[in-house]
Amino acid sequence: MSTVVDDGRQSFRPSMLLYDTRYRSLTIQVVAAILIALGMSWLLWNVVQNLAAQGKDFSFGFLGQRAGYDINQQLIDYNSNSSHARAALVGILNTLLVAFLGCVLATILGVIAGVLRLSNNWLVARMMTVYVEGFRNVPLLLWIIAIFALMAEGMPQPRDFREGGDASMVLDSVAITNRGIYLPMPVWGPGSGVLLAVFAASLAAIWAFRRYAHKRQEATGEILPVLGVSLALFFLPAIVFYFILGGPVSLSYPELKGFNFGGGLHLRNSLIALWLALSLYTGAFIAEIVRGGILAISKGQSEAAFALGLRPRRTMSLVVLPQALRVIIPPLISQYLNLTKNSSLAIAVGYMDARATLGGITINQTGRELEGMFLLGLFYLVLSLLISGVMNIYNASIKLKER
Amino acid sequence: MIKSVFLGTFAAAGLAAGVAGAATLDDVKANDVLKCGISTGLAGFSAPDANGVWQGFDVAVCRAVAAAVLGDSNKIEFVPLTTQTRFTALGSGEIDLLSRNTTWTFTRDVDLKQTFVGVNYYDGQGFMIRKDMGVGSATELDGATVCIQTGTTTELNLSDYFRVNNMDYDPVPIETNNEAIQQYQAGACDVYTTDASGLAATRATFEDAEAHMILPEIISKEPLGPVVRHGDDQWADIVRWTLNALIAAEEYGVTSANLEKMAEGTDNPEINRLLGNEGNLGEMLGLDAEFARRAIAVAGNYGEIFASNIGEGTPIGLARGLNAQWTQGGLMYSPPFR
Ligand SMILES: N[C@@H](CCC(=O)N[C@@H](CS)C(=O)NCC(=O)O)C(=O)O
C-alpha cells in the first residue's frame, strides 16, 4: 500500500508541469497570475516613483479644502466657500440629472420611432428611417455642439426683450433666449404638502385599480375601462383639493431684471443642448432595438391573437410587446449606460457635470490629477453598475416564467 | 528565482522612472527639439501667422530658449494647451517648457510643484463689455452673465470679487479663448473676463473693436511667466537666465541691430559677460558662452519683442506700463550677469 504512494511521489518530475495535462493548466494560470501581478506592480511602482520625483504624494485631503470657484447650476446649496467635496457632489448631481432626463426622453423617442418605423404608412415609416439614420450616423459631439450653437447664435438676447426690443415672451410666460429657456416655476405655498400627498394617493389608487382590473379580467374575462378611470383618478382629486386648499401652488414667472431674467426656472443652453442631443442620439439606437425586438416575435403570435379576436392595439400591448421586452431590455441597458457615460461630453458646452467640477476645475486648482481621475472613474463605475443592477432586476421580473 | 526576477523588474522600473524625471537639458539635446507648451491661440501672445508659423510674445520665449540650447530657434515642437491641460502636460513630461500667460501663484508654485522661472508680463484681471450696455464700472455688473476660462486664476478672482462686493453673477465656463469670443460675440454672456492683456489682444481681433470697452477696474495681480517642471534646477536656471538675458539686453541697449558689433567686445564688462566675451557664465549653465547672444539674435531684446508683438505700434496696442524697465519706472529688472 505505502509503496504505491511512494511510487507516485517519486515519479513526479518538473517537466510534468508542462507535459502532464493534470498540471499544465495550473502551471499556465500561475505564470499568467505572476505576469499580471508584475505588470500591475510595475505600473504602481512607476506612479509612486514619478510622484516622488515631482515631490507629490497621494492623498484625498484636498476634498476638504475650500473650492473657491462658482458653479452655475446647483441642485443643492453651494457657494465658493464650500469644499471641493461639495463641488464634486454638485457636479455628480448634475450628471445624474442630465443622465436621468436623457434616459427618459431617449426611451420615449426610441419607442415611438421604433414602433412607427414598422408602420404601414409609407411617409411615417420613412420619416422615422431618416431620423434613425441621421442621428445614428453622425457623432454625438457634433449634435451637442450644433444644438448649443443654434441656441447661442439663433435665439434673441435677454436685452432684446426690453421695451422696444424685437423679441417677446411666448404666452407672456416663457422666454427663449440665447442663454437658455426661462419657464414659470411652481412656488409651493403652505398646504402644498397636503396636495402632494393627495396626488401620491391618486397614483397609488391608479396602480391598485389596474391590478384589480387585471385580476378580474384573468378570472372572469370582463374588461374594465382602465384608461378612463386612471385619467380621472390622476386629475380629479388633485384639482378638487387644489381649490379646497385655496390654491396653495402658484407660479413664479420669469421677469427681465437688469442683465438677465430673474424668477422662474432657468434651463441653461448647456443643459438643453446636452439633454436633447443625448436623447435624440441614443433614441435612434433604442428605436432600432425596439424594432428588432418587435420583429423578433414570430408573426404566428399576432395571427393567433387576431384569430382569438383581439384588436391590433391589444395584440401589440398584450401579446407582442411583453415578449418583445425580453429581447429589448438587455441591449437597452447598454444604451442607458452609454448615455450616462456620454454625458461627460458636457465638456464641449461647459455643462457643469462631475467631469467639469471634480474632474476639471478641482483637479486643475489643486493639482490632484491622479486622485481626481480615480474618484471620477470610481463614480462612473459605481453609477454604471447601479444602473445595470436595477435594469437586471427589472429584466428578471419580466422573464418568461417557466413552470 | 521568481523572487529575484520580481525584484529585478522592480529595480529596473524604478531606475527607468528615476532617469526619466531628471535632466531635461539632456532630453532636449538628444531629441534635438524643444517641446514648448503655448496657448491655443491668443493674438500677439501665441497664434499661428498666415504661413502657419507660431508667432507672439509667449512664443518668443520658446524661440529664445531653443536658440540658446539648440542653436536654432525653429527646432521647436509647439504644443497648444488649454488652461485645463497645461499643468498636466508639463508634469507628465509632454512639454519641456510652458510659456502661456500663466500666473505665478503660491499654490501653483508650492502645492502644484511647478517652478516659475520669472515674469515676462505683469498683468491683472479686467472685464470687457459692449459699450452700448451702458456700464462704466465693474461695480455695476450685478446679475451679469460672465464668460470665464476654467482652470484659471480668473475664475477664483472673479468669485472673490463678486462675493466681496455683494454682487451676483452667472458664470459661463469655457475651455479656450476662441470659444469665449464666440459666446461673447453672440451675446450669450454680457461680460468677458480674463487677464487685461488677453482682453486687449482679443478685442484687437474684433471687426467692431470700437464697440467694446475694457472696464477701468483691474481686480487682481497676474504676474505671467514661463514655467518648468519641479525638480530640475539646471533646466530652470537655463530658462530663467535666457529670459533675464533678453531683459538685461534691453537695459544695456543691446538690440538686434547692434548685437554683432557689441559681441565683438565693449567697454561695459556686464555686456561682455552677457554676450560671452568675458567669463564663463554659459558653461556654468551647461551651455556654451554664446547662449545669450543667440537668444537675443532671434528677435531682439525684451523691448523689441514687446514692441513687435503687442506694443503700441501693433493693433493690440499695449503700453509698457508695469512692464517697462526698472530704469523707466517699470518692474522689469534682471539680476546682474556676474
Ligand atoms: N493668467 C491666468 C489666466 C490664463 C488665461 O486664461 N489666459 C487666456 C487669455 S489671457 C488664454 O490663454 N487664452 C488662450 C487659450 O485659450 O488658449 C492663469 O494663469 O490662470
pLDDT in tens, B188-246: 999 999 999 999 999 999 999 999 999 999 999 999 999 999 889 999 999 999 999 99
pLDDT higher than 70, residue B16: no
**Which residue has the CA at smallest separation from atom 20 of ligand 1?**
B152
pLDDT higher than 80, residue B140: yes
Q: Would you kindly state where each structural domain of chain A is located, as residue ranges?
A: 84-161+267-398, 188-248
* Minimal C-alpha gap between A199 and chain B (Å): 35
Q: Which three cell numbers stand for residue B100?
A: 502661456
Give the Cβ contact number of residue B232 at 10 Å: 19
Sort strands B222-224 and B121-123 into parallel, antiparallel or unpaired.
antiparallel
List domains and CATH numbers for chain B: 23-122+224-328 (3.40.190.10), 124-222 (3.40.190.10)
pLDDT higher than 90, residue B29: yes
Give dist(CA A332, CA A329) in Å, integer.
Answer: 5
Ligand 1 nearest-atom number relative to CA B199: 10
Question: Tens of pLDDT along A26-45?
Answer: 888 899 999 999 999 998 88
Q: Which of A260, A350, A361 has its CB closest to that of B151?
A: A361
Give dist(CA B129, CA B190) in Å, integer.
Answer: 6
Q: Which residues are CB-neighbours of A221 under 8 A, at least 6 positions away?
A: none
Which residue type occupies B47? A
Q: Which residues are CB-neighbours of B158 under 8 A, at least 6 positions away?
A: A70, B125, B146, B148, B169, B171, B193, B219
- A191 and A248 Cβ atoms separated by less than 8 Å: yes
* Cα end-to-end span (Å), chain A: 53
Least confident of A249-253, B64-68, B330-334: A249-253
Residue B253, phi-psi category: left (phi > 0), alpha (psi -120 to 50), beta (remainder): left
pLDDT (0 to 100) of residue B228: 96
Residue A239, phi-psi category: left (phi > 0), alpha (psi -120 to 50), beta (remainder): alpha
CB spacing of B142 vs A269 below 8 angstroms? no
pLDDT (0 to 100) of residue A252: 83
Q: Regarding the domain with residue range A84-161+267-398, which homologous superfamily does it belong to in the CATH classification?
A: MetI-like (1.10.3720.10)
**Residue % of chain B over a pLDDT of 90:** 83
pTM of the predicted protein model: 0.84
Give dist(CA A226, CA A212) in Å, integer.
Answer: 10
Sort strands B76-81 and B34-39 into parallel, antiparallel or unpaired.
parallel
Give the Cβ contact number of residue A146 at 10 Å: 13
Question: Tens of pLDDT along A97-143?
Answer: 999 999 999 999 999 999 899 888 899 999 999 999 999 999 999 99
SS3 for A152? helix
- B109 and B228 Cβ atoms separated by less than 8 Å: no
Confidence bin at A241 (pLDDT 50/70/90): confident
Question: Tens of pLDDT along A264-310?
Answer: 888 999 999 999 999 999 999 999 999 999 999 888 988 999 999 98
Ligand 1 nearest-atom number relative to CA B149: 6
pLDDT (0 to 100) of residue A402: 67
Question: Which residues in B lie closer than 8 A to residue A71 (C-beta atoms)?
Answer: 171
Residue A221, phi-psi category: left (phi > 0), alpha (psi -120 to 50), beta (remainder): left
pLDDT (0 to 100) of residue A321: 84
ipTM of this complex prediction, to 2 decimal places? 0.82
pLDDT (0 to 100) of residue A403: 60
Best substitution site from B99, B121, B149 to test ligand 1's pocket, by max atoms within 8 Å of Cβ? B149
Pocket (CB within 6 angstroms of ligand 1): B 39-42, 82-83, 100-103, 149, 152-154, 176-177, 194-195, 198, 222, 224
CB spacing of A72 vs B170 below 8 angstroms? yes
pLDDT higher than 50, residue B2: no
Which residue type occupies A269? N
* Cα end-to-end span (Å), chain B: 57
CB spacing of A260 vs B156 below 8 angstroms? no
CB–CB contacts below 8 A, A to B? 123
Confidence bin at A374 (pLDDT 50/70/90): very high
B176-212: burial string, b at 16+ Cβ within 10 Å, e else: bbebbbbbbbbbbbbbbbbbbbbbbbbbbbeeeeeeb
Sort strands B97-98 and B34-39 into parallel, antiparallel or unpaired.
parallel
Q: What is chain A's mean pLDDT, rounded?
A: 87
Dist. CA B101 → ligand 1 center (Å): 6
